[in-house]
A and B are shown apart, each in its own frame.
Chain A
Amino acid sequence: DIQMTQSPSLVSASVGDRVTITCRASQGISSWLVWYQQKPGKAPKVLISAASNLQSGVPSRFSGSGSGTDFTLTISNLQPEDFATYYCQQASRFPYTFGQGTKLEIE
C-alpha cells in the first residue's frame, strides 16, 4: 500500500491568514493526488484533483502543487467557512489511501 502522511495534524490560524498543509506519499504517485475538505457531519468535498486542478466552484484562494511524492495545499486569505478538516488521497493505484487528516481550527 502507498502510505500518505500529512502534516501538521492540527493547525491553528486566523481569518485572513495563509496556511500550507503538506502530504507525502511513500512512493511516487505522479500527480494523482486529491485534496478534500470535510466539515462535521458531512461527506468530504473535492477541492483539488491531479495535484493542482481546482474543482469547479472552489474558491481560488485554494491551490495545490507537487508531483512524485511531495504535495502541498495552500489556503490564502482564510475565511470562516474554511475551518474544517483536510485530507489528501492518492489516486495512483489501488488500494486508494488517504492521509490522516489535518484539522484547521480558529486561533
Chain B
Amino acid sequence: QLQLQESGPGLVKPSETLSLTCTISGGSITSGTYFWAWIRQPPGKGLEWIGNIYYSGSTFYHPSLMSRVTISVDTSKNQFSLKLPSVTAADTAIYYCARHFWHAPFDSWGQGTLVTVSS
C-alpha cells in the first residue's frame, strides 16, 4: 500500500527558506504516469494546490507562488521536495504531499506537517 510521509522543520523564521521532503513507501516515484504534488492548508482555512512534479521531472506551479517555489525529485531516495524561500507569516500552514493522475483526484496523501513561520 502506497504511503507518503512529509518531513522537515516545523518552525521557520521569516525571510528564510521552507524546505520539506515527501518520502514514498510501498511504491516507486518513477512507476506509472503520476504527478507528485504539494498542497497546503492554513490553520482553519481551505486547501491550496502549490504545484507538482511529473515522474519525468516536469513541474507545474501555482501562478501566485511560481516566482518562489521549487519542487524537485530524487528518484534514488524515492522522494520529492518543496522549497519556498522568503517565507512570511502567510506561509504558515499544514503542508501535504499527495499523488494524482492527470484529471484524477489526489488519491494518496501524507498525514500533513504543520509549518509555522515565526521569529
Contact = CB atoms under 8 A, between A and B. Distances in A.
Contacts of B61: 95
A43 B110 contact: yes
Interface residues of B, number: 22
A101 B46 contact: yes
B63 interface: yes
Contacts of A63: none
16 contacts: A43-B109, A44-B47, A44-B106, A49-B104, A49-B105, A50-B103, A89-B106, A92-B103, A94-B52, A94-B60, A95-B49, A97-B49, A98-B47, A99-B46, A101-B46, A101-B47
Interface residues of A, number: 22
Contact of B109 (A44, A49, A89, A97): A44
Closest 6 CB pairs of A and B: A43-B109, A34-B105, A96-B49, A98-B47, A95-B62, A46-B105
Interface of B: 46-49, 51-52, 60-63, 96, 98, 100, 103-107, 109-112
Given A87-B47, A95-B60, A95-B61, 12 more contacts: A32-B103, A43-B98, A43-B111, A44-B106, A46-B107, A49-B104, A55-B105, A91-B100, A92-B103, A94-B52, A98-B47, A98-B49
A29 to B, nearest CB: 10
A1 interface: yes
